[in-house]
Amino acid sequence: MASIQLDSVLIKNTSLSEEQVTLLLSQPSTIGTPIRDWLARKEGSSTDEILTELASQMGLTYIKEIPVSEINSDLVRDIPIGFAKKHEVLPFREDRNSVQVLDHQSTQYPSDGRSARHL
């Protein structure tokens, strides 16, 4: 996939700005080469495959659609709707030691995680 196509895919399918895409793609991948070069080797990949690989390189999990039926209502009950909308966060899953939060900010590279800390 050519760089211009990769940039377009990311700008179209994420909330990243052109500047953020440029910054992100210049970051080193897990194998040391820039993420742009690493993803460019994935010719023929679908948009979802590219976004999955990119999320993986950032230590994140790509979720195409939020599986609403899997959201535990007990997790969202005590979150004020105004806070959730303002910070674009959604408590998603819980295990013994943590709560996984879907956070719009995590798609804006780099993220500072401020909204998740306030939960």
The 8 Å CB, 24+ separation contacts for 29-32 are 29/57, 30/57
Q: Measured in whole angstroms, how far is the alpha carbon of residue 59 from the centre of its chain?
A: 9
Cβ contacts of 52 within 8 Å, gap of 6 or more:
62
pLDDT given at position 108: 39
Domain ranges for the chain: 3-57, 68-118
The pLDDT tens digits of the residues spanning 40-60 come to 777 667 878 878 888 887 777
Give bridge partners of residue 93 from the DSSP assignment.
100
Alpha-carbon span 54 to 50, nearest angstrom: 6
Q: Per residue of the chain (119 residues), what is the pLDDT tens digit?
A: 444 477 887 788 777 888 888 888 888 877 788 888 877 777 667 878 878 888 887 777 888 888 888 888 888 888 888 988 888 888 888 888 888 888 765 543 334 445 445 55
Please give the sequence-ordered ranges of beta strands (E in DSSP) within the chain, or none if there are none: 89-94, 99-103
pLDDT given at position 45: 74
